[in-house]
A and B are shown apart, each in its own frame.
Chain A
Amino acid sequence: MGMTIAEKILARASGRKQVAPGEIVEAAIDVAMTHDIEGPMVVQGLRELGAKKVWDPSKIVIVFDHQVPANSIDAAINHIMLREFAAEQKIPNFYDVFEGICHVVLPEKGFALPGRLIVGTDSHTVTYGAFGCFATGIGSTDMVAVFVTGKLWFRVPESAKMTIEGKLPKRVGSKDLILKIIGDVGADGETYRSVELVGAGMRYISMEGRMTMCNMGVEMGAKATIVPPDDLTKRYLGGRAKGAYKPVYADADATYVEEHTYDVRNLEPQVACPHRVDDVHPVREVEGVEIDQAFLGSCTNARLEDLIEAARLIKGRRISKGVRMLVVPASREIYLEALRQGILSIFAEAGALIEAPGCAACLGGHVGVLGPGEVCISASNRNFKGRQGSPEARIYLASPATVAASALKGKITDPRDV
């Protein structure tokens, strides 16, 4: 019987020839990632268990990104704890406050490779599926088990397939497409499933755009979101890949519980309205909503391509009076490149605030916290009640182009009109 990409990776990692959805397998983990929020909980769990050594320091990656640099004594204590742990366990791939968001750093440093099985203590670990690997989020106690044994149990997920046809129009991005899909299937539409993003249309979408799409797979409940590797994947990984890799593709007779096709040629800019990721509308329907803050950041949409797209609209103009625009490049590599290309000065001259790489305003625990009644248009992934601060604030999710256009006008604006 044919297998999907998820089934093939889980079969390989659990030493079986064949696996089927619903089966429980114990699989060997290729890369285990944790960060400054969940990492301290993992260390606490290891101590509780009395475990002295991790199974393989070279397979662990630790990234500080949520509270960087530390914004409270508690955050600083967590950082100290994790730094000491990394040193004591001799973990070579430890990235302190300087590198950026884990989901951008792992691909940049070549850990996200086709065919791998990757777990991370963060729900957006699904991002790495853009490289044709099976990557999923787990909690800190599961990570304790991984750190000690190198293995974890998985229920083999059912797979679904989304076929993308055509090329996205100008000013319409991969974020608009994934928002449209989430709006259609719902916030739990793909729960427990592995979703494969395939079709000729995906070939036109850059690695950055694919990461944006896979990143938000979890907002429809997916356990993994996977793009079959191609030449773009290979090109991105050239000079980055940490180790050899072997791309995995689905068999022609693999089983999918659901299939959708999207022709994106006439797709319009989309926005997810508060407080639901699946309350998605064309920007045209919510135009004119006044905003207090515009956030261009997060593991979803703060890669170089996103900054360039937003800068094209902002160049030579001023951010609307009274609007706070926050630009947070997702990693140091992106920050430096944006600096070299003059992108950061375009934002700064327009009146935007530029912050150091990290999760920043996305989760309301660091910079750019919203107050009661405030409205934010955000390039991030979640508009849950209270996500970016006050439960009485409202968050609209949109593409970098829509965020930029809205920052210029002071209200939600279709980027095709700017």
Chain B
Amino acid sequence: MSRAWVFGDDVDTDQIIAGRYLVKLDPRELAKHAMEAADPKFASEVRRGDVIIAGRNFGCGSSRERAPLALKAAGISAVVAESFARIFYRNAINLALPVLTCAGVHKGFKTGDKVGVDVRGGKVQNLSTGKTFKAEPLPDFLSEIVHAGGLLRYMKKRSSF
């Protein structure tokens, strides 16, 4: 069962993965330090399939792709936020980490709530409270990239190189 990890507005890329870890290329190494500055317990307690619920402007700051990579490697299955910073958003899609923009979602969850995310249907459910939130659907071609398993697999599939 997926659990929610709730964060506030303007969670920046330094909180997601700090600059001093950017020399690492191994996603498992990055996962050990995911969200370290925001919540030091996150990396040790997060479980495969968990979901991040956040406020506005999630992922602001750097273009470091290790930010969504670290979250994905830590087991995060989707990020649902009131809004996203643009580079993080693109990077997450390119790595096939679903990112859903969803108004009102931040106030609708506490950390530890059970959560259900239907990426294709654009539906986010708090299974602990029974409330459902409607997310903005991903534009078709972004959805295709996510479902292909990321931009590189999408390119391979279409042999567009």
Contact = CB atoms under 8 A, between A and B. Distances in A.
A384 interface: yes
A386 B63 contact: no
A89 interface: no
**Interface bracket on A:** 35 or more
A225 to B, nearest CB: 13
A364 B19 contact: yes
Contacts of A191: 57, 83, 85-86
A20 B37 CA distance: 40
Interface in A184-221: 187-188, 191-192, 218, 221
B64 A75 contact: no
A49 B152 contact: yes
Given A24-B141, A40-B25, A137 B91 contact: no
Given A38-B64, A41-B65, A386-B37, A141 B95 contact: yes
Interface in B72-101: 83, 85-87, 90-91, 94-95
B15 interface: yes
A145 B155 contact: yes
A191 B90 CA distance: 13
A303 interface: no
A142 B94 contact: yes
B85 A78 contact: no
B56 A386 contact: no
B64 A141 contact: no
Interface stretch (A66-74, A170-178, A345-353): A66-74
Interface residues of B, number: 41
Contacts of B66: 41
With a 10 A CB-CB cut-off, give which of A74, A123, A149 has the most chain B CB atoms.
A123
Interface centre among A72, A120, A276, A386 (most CB of B within 10 A): A386
A142 B151 contact: yes
A50 B159 CA distance: 11
A365 B19 contact: yes
Contacts of A276: 10
A364 B20 contact: yes
A40 B24 CA distance: 10
Contact of B91 (A44, A50, A139, A221): A139
B66 to A, nearest CB: 7
Contacts of B36: 386, 391
A333 to B, nearest CB: 25
B18 interface: yes
A75 B60 contact: no
A121 interface: yes
A276 to B, nearest CB: 7
B86 A78 contact: no
B150 interface: yes
A382 B61 contact: yes
Nearest to A392: B37
B91 A363 contact: no
B57 A75 contact: no
B63 A123 contact: yes
Contact of A384 (B14, B64, B65, B83): B14
Contacts of B57: 187-188, 191, 221
Interface string A337-374: 00000000000000000000000000111000100000
Interface in A89-129: 120-123, 125
A386 to B, nearest CB: 4
B65 A137 contact: no
Contact of B63 (A67, A139, A153, A221): A139
A411 B161 CA distance: 56
Interface of B: 10, 12-15, 18-20, 22-25, 36-38, 56-57, 60-66, 83, 85-87, 90-91, 94-95, 139, 141, 150-152, 155-156, 160-161
Given A123-B63, A365-B19, A382-B14, 6 more contacts: A24-B139, A44-B25, A139-B63, A153-B141, A384-B13, A386-B15
18 contacts: A37-B22, A66-B22, A123-B87, A138-B90, A139-B64, A139-B91, A142-B91, A142-B151, A153-B141, A188-B56, A221-B85, A363-B14, A363-B22, A363-B62, A382-B12, A382-B14, A385-B15, A386-B18
Kindly list the 5 A-B residue pairs having the minimum CB-CB distance in the complex, ordered from nearest.
A363-B19, A386-B37, A139-B91, A74-B23, A139-B65
